[in-house]
Amino acid sequence: MFGLRKTLGSLFKSSRTDEAWFDTLEESLLQSDVGLPTTERLMETLRAAAKSEKAASPEALQALLIDAVSTLLSSLEANPNPLFMQSAHQPEVWLVVGVNGAGKTTTIGKLCHHFQSQERAVLLAAGDTFRAAARNQLKEWAVRNGVDLVSQESGDAAAVAHDAIHAAIARKSDVLIIDTAGRLATQDNLMEELKKVKRVIGKALPGAPHQILLVLDGNTGQNGISQVKAFHGALGLTGLIVTKLDGTAKGGVICALAQTFQKEESKPLILALGKGEGIEDLVAFNAKQYSSELFN
């Protein structure tokens, strides 16, 4: 359950809406990682809509708030969504990045299953050369999905990516998903390594990687904004997958992302949400549906 939805449950069941009600709503939005600029914008929009529509009941205000958030989030919705498009590239190369603990490897396992359900041949590459545990975890997902894995006991991520590209071409794979080591956006040397991986991929297969995906923990709060900015600035992200939205995630960080990138034409769009540990617990992001889930 989203923390925001849990917080607002009693508020929308109130018998009246006075100034204290609006204050509580504002506080709830702030506590749920929506962020100050976004909260101020939503409260201003809600008050104006309430006045225009002569809406006073909690139910009416709830509907207006859902509409306001849906409008805000629509700028982050990928339409068409590359997860559901038949690519013109073979292989189509997905480079997956993120910080440690965001659920990156699990997300790759889900992506693998998703593409296989489209009857596309998938190859995985273990580009996390720092941790043997990460390679083993990805190997488990490869076995679970019945796909091959390109990995090295030593060497660097760029070498793994290079070998994986040629392996995918030789095997006529439809999709190649390349994992990378988790890293903080502030670790300059590791961010430079990612840039190198991207360059090597582009040399081995011009035009690749076709998708550069950041896996973002839905519990990171406002720190998620700085993560997206840093990875996008270094790599030119094409998409995001927000994970761990099945438990206590507050959920508001997505609203803050929409506010932050609202004026940018080239921005990463949210392709999907991770809502569980199961192999099928990956759902396409839909702004209207997500907004409704936040407040219902």
Q: Rounded to whole angstroms, how far apart are CA atoms 164 and 67?
A: 45
Flag the least confident range among 57-66, 126-135, 138-147.
126-135
pLDDT for res 183: 84
* 78-to-83, 87, 118, 169, 174 alpha-carbon distances in Å: 10, 15, 19, 28, 21
The verdict on residue 8 lying in a domain is no
Q: What average pLDDT does this structure show over 244-253?
A: 74
pLDDT digits (tens, 9 = 90+) for 118-137: 999 999 999 988 788 888 99
pLDDT for res 6: 63
Q: What average pLDDT does this structure show over 263-287?
A: 91
The verdict on residue 59 lying in a domain is no
Higher pLDDT, 153 or 143: 143
pLDDT for res 278: 82
Q: Quick one: pLDDT band at residue 3, thresholds 50, 70, 90?
A: low
Domains held by the chain: number? 1
Q: What are phi and psi of 272, to 5 degrees?
A: -160, 165
The verdict on residue 241 lying in a domain is yes
pLDDT for res 5: 63
Q: Could you tell me if 187 and 228 are in contact, meaning their C-beta atoms sit under 8 angstroms apart? A: no
Q: What average pLDDT does this structure show over 154-172?
A: 94
The verdict on residue 202 lying in a domain is yes
Q: What is the CATH number of the domain that holds 116?
A: 3.40.50.300
Does the predicted TM-score (pTM) go above 0.85? yes
The verdict on residue 250 lying in a domain is yes
Q: Could you tell me if 242 and 275 are in contact, meaning their C-beta atoms sit under 8 angstroms apart? A: no
The verdict on residue 20 lying in a domain is no
Q: What average pLDDT does this structure show over 216-237?
A: 91
Q: What average pLDDT does this structure show over 189-213?
A: 96
pLDDT for res 118: 95
pLDDT digits (tens, 9 = 90+) for 149-160: 999 877 789 999
Rg (CA), the chain: 21
Highest mean pLDDT among 14-18, 179-183, 243-247: 179-183
pLDDT for res 249: 58
pLDDT digits (tens, 9 = 90+) for 38-49: 999 999 999 999
Q: Rounded to whole angstroms, how far apart are CA atoms 19 and 28?
A: 14
The verdict on residue 187 lying in a domain is yes
Domain with 164, as residue range(s), is 82-295
Q: What is the token pair recorded at 267?
A: 């921005």
Does residue 7 have a pLDDT over 70? no
Q: Phi-psi bin for 207: left (phi > 0), alpha (psi -120 to 50), beta?
A: left
pLDDT for res 181: 87
Question: How far is C-alpha 267 from the chain's CA centre?
Answer: 12
Highest mean pLDDT among 136-140, 156-160, 206-210: 206-210
Does residue 162 have a pLDDT over 70? yes
The verdict on residue 132 lying in a domain is yes
Query: Sheet of 282-284: strands edge to edge?
Result: 148-150, 122-125, 175-178, 92-97, 211-217, 239-243, 269-274, 282-284
